[in-house]
Amino acid sequence: MSPDSSQPTVTVPAELKDKYPELVELILGSESMNDEERQYWINILPVMTPEQIENLKQILGNEKNQLKAIDAKYSKEMEKLGKGKSVEEMAKMRREKRASRKSSEGVSEDEERQKEQEILKAIAEIEG
């Protein structure tokens, strides 16, 4: 499958879908991850602590809510502006807002990397 394919290449075991349906959906739907990152989080779910799982769920839930807010604001702006601005201009504005949101997530990503290192250390200790 090519990297440009719109079909995800993430493999999710059935037991994880059953055990963490909401989290799996958030991981697969995250716009801030590529498929390799999504697969990584799916793969380490079984060894994550309940606290780590809750933190991941909160991070991805916040991302989803922020994107909904951006989309709602964008829709309102489109209604206000009507045909006053071209579709290209509106798309550019939306990209800028998403880029702004993504940069504000930089801090969260640093925290995620730290948590990721903790998880990898825990995995290494388990594998001993």
Tens of pLDDT, residue by residue over 22-70, are: 999 999 999 889 999 999 999 999 999 999 999 999 999 999 999 888 8
Query: Tokens at residue 23, please?
Result: 């989290």
Query: What CA–CA distances, in Å, run from 107 to 3, 5, 9, 64, 90?
Result: 28, 30, 28, 17, 28
Entry pTM: 0.56
Return the higher-pLDDT residue of 127 and 64.
64
Q: Phi, psi (5° rounding) for residue 4?
A: -85, -5
At 111 the pLDDT is 78
CA 127 vs CA 30, 59, 120, 121: distances in Å: 29, 27, 10, 10
In whole angstroms, how far apart are CA 104 and each of 3, 36, 70, 97?
Answer: 27, 22, 14, 11
Query: Quick one: pLDDT band at residue 82, thresholds 50, 70, 90?
Result: low
Take residue 118 and report the two structure tokens written for it: 């903790």
For the ranges 1-5, 44-48, 70-74, 106-110, the maximum mean pLDDT occurs at 44-48
With residues binned 3-state (H G I as helix, E B as strand, rest as coil), the percentages for the chain, rounded to 5, are 80, 0, 20
Please identify which residue in the block is written with the tokens 């309940």.
Answer: 50
The rounded distance, in Å, linking the Cα atoms of 87 and 85 is: 7
Judged against a pLDDT cut of 90, whether residue 13 lies above it is answered with yes
Rounded percentage of the chain residues whose pLDDT exceeds 90: 42
